[in-house]
Amino acid sequence: GAGVSQTPSNKVTEKGKYVELRCDPISGHTALYWYRQSLGQGPEFLIYFQGTGAADDSGLPNDRFFAVRPEGSVSTLKIQRTERGDSAVYLCASSSRGPTSYNEQFFGPGTRLTVL
């Protein structure tokens, strides 16, 4: 059916606030990825889920960032005490199998986060 969806499409917040970004992967896709893209740069990996578990969170920049995927489908990226440097486009991707396959990653439209 539908592709990867992300909400909200835009989020403006003030420094120090808490934000949640949501990702709905393609139905049936077990692998889910979060990336962050700063202006003029390519996306950078944040975290990878296989099913419900965070199999690799090595890309999270610090402990203010956290992500969950409690039922193995929808994922939420949570950022505490936001800083101006967190401003970026947050992209979510999903694929039908795990990382050791050749399956393509399909990306959502992203959430543009602006921290004032």
Of these, 21, 35, 82, 94, which contacts another protein (CB under 8 A)? 35
The answer to the question of residue 44 lying near another protein (CB under 8 A) is yes
Residue type, 105: Q
Rounded to a whole number of angstroms, the minimum distance from the CB of residue 45 to another protein is: 4
Binding mask 51-80 vs another protein (x if CB under 8 A, - otherwise)?
----xx--x---------------------
SS3 86: helix
112 contacts another protein (rule: CB under 8 A): yes
The contact pattern for another protein, residues 2-21, with x = CB under 8 A and - = no contact, is --x-x---------------
Please state, in angstroms and as integers, the Cα–Cα distance from residue 68 to each residue in 40, 57, 85, 89, 91, following that order: 28, 11, 22, 19, 15
* Backbone phi, psi, residue 46, to 5°: -115, -60
R_g of the chain computed on alpha carbons? 13
The CB-of-87 to another protein minimum distance in angstroms stands at 15
